[in-house]
Structure formats: structure tokens, C-alpha cells
Amino acid sequence: KEWTDANVTYMTKQLRSMGNAFSWDHAARSTDPEYFSWTQWMFTRFFEEGIAYRGTGIVNWCPGCNTVIANEQVTSEGCCERSGDQVEKREMPQWMLRITKYADRLIDDLDALPWPEHVKEAQRQWIGRSVGAKLSFELRFERHPEDNERRGPHGEKAAIPVFTTRPDTLFGATYLVLAPEHPWVTLATDDAHDVLDNKDEVRTYVDEARQRDEKERTDATKEKTGVELKGVKAVNPATGEEIPMYVADYVLAGYGTGAIMAVPAHDERDYAFATKFGLLIRQVIDTDGELPVTTAGKLINSGEFDGIASEEAKRAIVERFGGEPTSTYRLRDWSIGRQRYWGVPVPIVYDPEGNPHSIPKEHLPWTLPTDVDFKPTGEPPLAKSVELQERTERIFGPGWTPDVETMDTFVDSSWYFLRYVDPHDSDSFSSKEAQRAWMPVDLYFGGAEHTTMHLLYSRFWQKALYDLGLVTDQEPYTRRVNRGLVLGPDGAKMSKSKGNVIDPDREVERLGADAVKMYLAFMGPYGDGANYPWDMGGIAGLRRFLERANGLRAHVRTTVGDDIAVLLNRTIAKVTGDIDAYKFNTAISALMIFQNAAEKDGLTDDEYCTFLRLLAPFAPHLSEELWHEAGKTASVHEEAWPTADPALLEESTVTVAVQVNGKTRGTIEVPRDADESAVLNAALADPLVGPKLAGERKRVIYVANKVLNVVL
Ligand code: ANZ
């Protein structure tokens, strides 16, 4: 708490020193009990709706942080994004949020969002929707043929469902593969069952496979391994053939149904496996080239479906063989329980029988106990709190126990924008009136690292709240702009270890906040991938520009030429347009061009004040001071933004090339949009070009404002 408060104070001071126009009266802190009591209340609503649940399964364990982390917090190298430690897989109970229920909406609603296409695509990829079908393969037991006719409670025969994206290749499914963790394999290898001829061999393989991580298992270059499930066969529903069954680790338990129909002629992995184990390879798609061919085409060796194209055959085959169209997703539910001290305590208590109950609103906020050591040890620090246990029993009764986990801090940022728009409401987390006035967020800036974390979590959270009738919009943000990075002077990412960190406070101290702020704006256009190195010379240049701005008033005159008014007008248009396009760098260059001209030609007092208004967003402190020195009493930041006069925008004269019989003979200056006869007269009157036009003119062609061609 002390550390957080000190940081907030420090950063607030730092941000204020830059003169940014934040609404400080709309600030909210996710660490305030007053804020997180709403986070907890939302969790209890999610719990009641089944969105939050206590699940079991394989989780990511970070040995450095001594806690579980979410899939999204594991880097592509399998490390913790926070500590960098190699993440381990553990099986343990976990608090989860059912983000997978929203997978389709999270994908489909992207279409209407005016976000950068690559950000949307990254979310689609992360969610990873595969459209396909479930197909069932009945089993044949060789050791106990009587089992073949046995039926389940709903009259069904023993069967293995598979997930496939290519039901059109069903006639080419020549064997079945189950994941080592598949429940049927677990059942068939336990002591109570006697269906396999090689139970021990299968057990050994399963135990070995469990040791290997997913990356190793799905590595396409690695030689395929597996063991046949001897004594049992599956029936291909299309051909009626009995086909062998295997357990192999290239099939993953957590994807689809954990079992596949293998089509070696049209799938790379199945092809590699079938080749190694000498299994039947039957081509069912008519394509050129060597097997395996994975593209779609017309069906062959597929009975009544021969000649039908893949897309149509998919539908027809699923329908004909009792399949079920379904989608599978890469996205997993969001694991949010953490075995660490900081974070919002999970607002759940357990009755003496161990059943979870949400903590009623009147007992929220459910605060963090302070009588514990907060260092992570692997065991949740809250488990050691005497106060938390006593509090629970005092409120709920003897034998009741508290949940001892805290929530991933991404829950805090999943709804903060809703609080910003209504930070002081004590009846709700954010009133509907405030939401109707402000939400969704018009423009959201942030780093690319948020694409499949915060940006996905908060979209999910918003939708979950929407379904509970608590928010007015289905999407939290309208436009999104990713930002780049300010790199060290050496062009590398700033880091303490590289010694290339620029301390902004020191630069503010040295050159002033306006110079630092303007320099940041001047580095280059703002946006994705826009990473710029810090340049000491560059910031010094901005400082000099500001010093000259400080002296510009000395060039104010009562009468000046028209040119400066025209230039100022163009500067207004340029700065305005550039700000809208986040091209702050070219907006500043336009201000520099104007300042140069004004120093040379002079400017009126009015023009000077307009310049200050244009400068104000970039150099808020200096412009305010100069504004007051110019005799104004109100703030420059409360002035209306200058508007350009379109009539003055275009340059009033144009340079026209004069051609004789197609050859350029010189140029003339004429008023813009002058008509052909006026331009011809000007050309004739021109001392250099005029004489070249002497003679009989057969034809005159004038391309407005560009070329006058005279045919003699
Ligand atoms: C038969 C088939 C024939 C397949 C064919 C592909 C090509 P994506 O697109 O990534 O979703 N599959 C299904 N569940 C699996 C699991 N648990 N572990 C490993 N592989 C699994 O891939 C879907 C395809 O991956 C599915 O379609 C299935 O192989 C395989 F010519 O079924 B297919």
C-alpha cells in the first residue's frame, strides 16, 4: 500500500509537470477499497451467473512469481511475461472466468470496430476459431464381442467423437487417434477393465507422453510416436470398415474432443504417422501433386459423394452420417486466481461442508488482511492470516473459511474506464446516465502488448456486464491506436541493464517541460511500430525553437504584408489536420516555418496571438505565459481553436508552363483559375515568352493552372 501510494503520488506529479490536459477530478484507483468493492461485487454477480467458477485442470505455474498465471501471460517462448521464468504445467483447482462462452461474440463483433486490421486479426488468431464438426465412430471390442451390442442410458452404442475441420475427407479416415489423456484411454487402462490386449504397453506410453510438454508434442519436425490400442477397433461410419485405433501424443487432450479421425492422404501429421506405422493411405480428394495434399477439391473414392466439391461435401457428409456442426477454439477460460498477496481478495467464503458462497454486498469491500507476510512462497499468503479467518467466522459462523487467493490484476483494468466516467458514485460502479454520456471510449491509446491481454479481457468483461444489464454498450472502445516506443539514444529499447535510460524528470529539469513534451511530439508520426531513438541534438533544437518563440513578440508591427496572413492561414489548416491525424511532428514543422517567416517579415498582434493559440497544445506553459504578457487575462487553453479561412488557403497565383508546338519555352505567373484568354494575353505580354508566340496561331490548349500549349 505504501509503495503503491508513493508511486501514484510520484507519477501524478510527473504527469502534471508535463502540462497534460487530464481531468484529475475523474481519477480512480483500482487499489482503493471503494473501487475494488465494485470489482468484488462484479465477481459475485459473475459467480452467481456461472461466469466465474472454480475449475480444475492444467494451469501455468510461474516458479519465479510462485503463482498461477493465465495463458495470455505466457510468452511464445513459454516464459512468464512478468518474471521471465520458464512456466511449468501443474494440475490444480483454479478460479476461472468463462471467456470461452464469449468466443464467437469476441470474434464477430470485431468486424464492426474501426480498429487497425492487424490488431483485430491478432485477436481472431488468439481466439482461434476452427469451424468444423463432431463425428462419432462406434467401437468394436474383440475380447468381449457381446459389448458391441451394449447400449448406454440413451440407447447409444459405445463410440468415440472426433472433431474435424475436414468432414469431406471422412471416406479417407483409415485409423483413429486418441490423446494420451483421453478419458477412454484412462478407463481402458485401469485395473477394472479388460478390453485391451496390450494394457501395459499403453500405460507405459501414456506415462511417458504426459511428461512431454505441448510444444514438444506438436513439433512437426519431431518423429511421431504412438501405440496401437490392440483388441479394439473403430468403425468408419461412411465406409463401414473396421479401422485401427492408436494413442499418440500429437493429439492434444485439451483441443476439440481429444480424439481425431486420421486422414493420412490429406493431413501432414497423419501422413507422417501412417508412413511410420505402415497404415492405409487412401486419397479422397482429387488433386494433383504428391500426397499429402491438404487443399480442397472434388471428392473421389467417396461413394455417392464422388465429384462433389469439398465445401458442399462437408455439409452433406455431416448431415448424412449424423455429425454435429461445431466450432473449436484455441482460447481457454481465463484463469484469474493468484497465490500472491497483492490484488483483490476473491470474495468467496466456504461453509463447513466446503461449498463456496459469494460474500453479500453489505460485507464488501472484502479487504486484504494486513497480518501476513506478503512475500510469495507458493502457498497463498492470505492462508496465514488469523484476522481473515476470524473475520469470516465472526460474520458467517463457526467452521466457515475464507478463500485465500487474490485476483489477477487484469481484472482491475477490465472496467476502470467505466469508473473514470463516474468516479464518485456510491450507488453503482458507474451510472447509466454517465455511461450514456461518455461510453464507449472514443479513442483508446495503448501498447501492442495489450492486444491479446487487456484489450481482450476488457472486451469480455464489458460483454459479461452487458448481459447482466449493467452497462449500456457491448464494446468498451470505438477507435484504437497502438503507440510505439521511445528508444534509448543507441536505438535499443531503454533498459537499466543497457544503461540507455533517459530520465524524463532530469530532461524537464534541464530544458523545461515544454521542450521535452514538444520533442516527444516531434520525433515522428504517432502510431503503431513508430519507435524512435532519443536524440540529444533533437531536443536541443526544440529548446531553441521555444527560445525564439519567446522573442517573437519583438517582431509585432501595426502593418505587415499580406503574405504572412496567407501563411498563417495555411499553418492553421495544417496544424489542425495534422493533430487529427496524430502527425504532431509535421504540425510542429508548420509552426517552425511560420515562426521563421514572421521573424523575417513581421506579424500583427492578432496574428501573434493566433500563433500562440496554435502553440498552446504543444508548449502549454510557455504559450500561457506569452499570452498573459500579450495583455490577455483569461487562459490561452480556454480559447477557441483557430479556424482557417478556406478562401485564403490556396495560393493566389500559379506558375504555368508555356509550350510552343509541344516544347516548353518558359513559364508565366498568372492568377489561379484565370481563363484561357487571360492566360494567353499574359503570355503574349511576357517579355521572354511573348516573342516566341509570334505568327499565326492554329490552336491554343490550356490545361487549367498548369500548361498553355500554342500550336503555330
Ligand atoms: C480430419 C482431417 C483431415 C483433418 C484432413 C485435417 C485435415 P485446426 O484447424 O487447427 O482446428 N485435430 C482435431 N483435434 C485435435 C487434437 N485434439 N489434437 C491434434 N489435432 C487435432 O485443426 C483441426 C484439425 O486438427 C482437425 O481436422 C483434426 O484433423 C485435427 F485432411 O480431421 B482433421
The pLDDT of residue 649 is above 80: no
Please, which pLDDT band fits residue 388 given cuts at 50, 70 and 90?
A: very high
Q: Please calculate the CA angle 28-421-6 and round it to the nearest 5 degrees.
A: 15
Residue 477 has pLDDT above 90, yes or no: yes
CA 534 to chain centre: 27
DSSP states of 104-157 as a string? Answer: HHHHHTTTTS-S-HHHHHHHHHHHTEEEEEEEEEEEEESS-GGGGG-B-TTSPB
CB 39 within 8 A of CB 429: no
pLDDT of 76: 82
For ligand 1, mutation pick of 182, 255, 317, 321 (most atoms within 8 Å of CB): 255
Please name the residue whose Cα sits nearest to atom 1 of ligand 1.
164
Q: What is the pTM of this model?
A: 0.81
CA of 164 to the centre of ligand 1 (A): 5
**Mean pLDDT across 364-379:** 89
pLDDT band at 652 (very low <50, low <70, confident <90, very high): low
pLDDT greater at residue 572 or residue 81:
572
> Is 315 strand, coil or helix?
helix
Q: Which residues contact 29 (CB under 8 A, 6 or more apart)?
A: 8, 35
Inter-helix orientation angle 454-467/33-49, to 10°: 70
> How far, in Å, CA of 473 to CA of 457, rounded?
15
Q: Kindly state the average pLDDT of the residues 505-517.
A: 94
Nearest residue (by CA) to ligand 1, atom 31, is 266
Q: Write the DSSP symbol of residue 256.
A: T
255 lines ligand 1 (CB under 6 A): yes
Looking at this protein, which amino acid is placed at residue 643?
T
**Which of 15-24, 181-190, 207-216 is the least confident region?**
207-216
Residue-wise pLDDT tens digits, 282-324: 999 998 889 999 999 999 999 999 999 999 999 999 999 999 9
CA 570 to chain centre: 38
- Nearest ligand 1 atom to alpha carbon 165: 27
- pLDDT band for position 685 (cuts 50, 70, 90): confident
Determine which of 58-62, 98-102, 471-475, 656-660 has the lowest per-residue pLDDT on average: 58-62
Q: What is the pLDDT of residues 313-361, one digit of tens each?
A: 999 999 999 999 999 999 999 999 999 898 999 999 999 999 999 999 9
Other beta carbons within 10 Å of 350: 16
Higher pLDDT pick, 182 / 683:
182
By the 10 Å C-beta count (0-12 exposed, 13-18 middle, 19+ buried), 640 is classed as: exposed
Instruction: Report the pLDDT value the prediction gives residue 640, as an integer from 0 to 100.
Output: 96
Does residue 703 have a pLDDT over 70? yes
Q: What confidence score (pLDDT) does residue 49 get?
A: 97
Residue 343: count of CB within 10 angstroms of its CB: 24
* Under 8 Å between Cβ of 26 and 420: yes
Identify which of 124, 129, 134, 166 to mutate to test ligand 1's pocket (most ligand atoms within 8 A of the CB).
Answer: 166
Average pLDDT over residues 682-708: 87
The residue type of 199 is K
Average pLDDT (584-590) is 92
Taking alpha carbons only, the member of 705, 683, 702 closest to residue 693 is: 683
Q: Taken in order 112, 455, 463, 419, is the CA torsion positive or negative?
A: negative
Residue-level pLDDT at 240: 97
On the question of pLDDT at 528 being above 80, the answer is no
Atom of ligand 1 nearest to the CA of 179: 17
Q: What is the DSSP letter of 603?
A: B
Residue nearest to atom 11 of ligand 1 (CA): 130
What residue type is 23 in one-letter code?
S
| Ligand 1 pocket check for 130: Cβ under 6 Å | yes
- At residue 374, the pLDDT reads 82
More confident residue, 58 or 234: 234
Phi, psi at 163, each rounded to 5°: -105, 130
Supply φ then ψ for residue 143, to 5 degrees. Answer: -75, -35
Cell numbers representing residue 47 in the block: 459467480
Among residues 317, 178, 133, 308, the alpha carbon closest in space to that of 238 is found at 317
Q: What is the Å distance from ligand 1's center to 267 Cα?
A: 8
Buried b (16+ CB within 10 A) or exposed e, 244-281: bbbbbbbbebebbbbbbbbbbbbbebbbbbbeebebeb
Residue 136 pLDDT class (50, 70, 90 cuts): very high
328 alpha carbon to ligand 1 midpoint, in Å?
10
Backbone φ and ψ for 667, nearest 5 degrees, come out as -130, 155
Cβ partners under 8 Å of residue 343, min gap 6: 406, 407, 408, 409
Half-sphere exposure of 204 (CA within 13 A, CB side): 7
User: What pLDDT is stored for residue 81 in this prediction?
Assistant: 86
- The number of the ligand 1 atom at minimal distance from the alpha carbon of 167 is 1
Helix (H) or strand (E) holding 671: strand 663-671
What is the rounded average pLDDT for all residues in the chain?
93
Tell me the CA–centroid distance for residue 203 and ligand 1, in Å.
25
* Nearest-angstrom CA–CA distance, 422 and 25: 10
Three cell numbers, residue 270:
497423419
387 touches 369 (CB < 8 A): yes
What pLDDT is recorded for position 53?
97
DSSP state, 309? Answer: B
Prior bond to 402 cis, omega within 30?
A: no
Question: 556-567 pLDDT, tens per residue?
Answer: 999 888 889 999
Taking the chain, what is the end-to-end CA distance rounded to the nearest angstrom? 89
- The answer, yes or no, to whether any atom of ligand 1 lies below 6 A from the CB of 166, is yes
Closest CA to 113 of 367, 401, 480, 399: 480
Kindly report, residue by residue over 390-436, the tens digit of the pLDDT. Answer: 999 999 999 999 999 999 999 999 999 999 999 999 999 999 999 99
Residue 654 host element (H or E) = strand 653-660
Q: Residue 51 in 3-state DSSP?
A: coil
Q: What percent of the chain has pLDDT over 90?
A: 74
The amino acid that residue 272 corresponds to is A
Q: Do the Cβ atoms of 249 and 212 come closer than 8 Å?
A: yes
Q: Is 84 left (phi over 0), alpha (psi -120 to 50) or beta?
A: left
Q: At residue 481, does pLDDT exceed 70?
A: yes
Whether the CB of 256 sits within 6 Å of ligand 1:
yes
User: 182: Cβ below 6 Å to ligand 1?
Assistant: no
**How far lies 577's CA from each of 121, 393, 586, 642, 644, in Å?**
29, 63, 10, 12, 11
Q: Is residue 614 within a helix (H) or strand (E), and if so which, with residue range?
A: helix 605-615
Helix (H, G, I), strand (E, B) or coil at 42: helix
Give the Å distances, CA to CA, from 444 to 92, 131, 431, 481, 539.
Answer: 37, 31, 21, 6, 27
pLDDT tier, 651 (very low <50, low <70, confident <90, very high otherwise) = low
Distance separating alpha carbons of residues 623 and 639, to the nearest angstrom: 12
Predicted pLDDT of residue 495: 85
Residue 359 DSSP SS3: coil
Cell matching residue 618: 504543444
Query: What would the mean pLDDT of 160-167 be, rounded to a whole number?
Result: 97
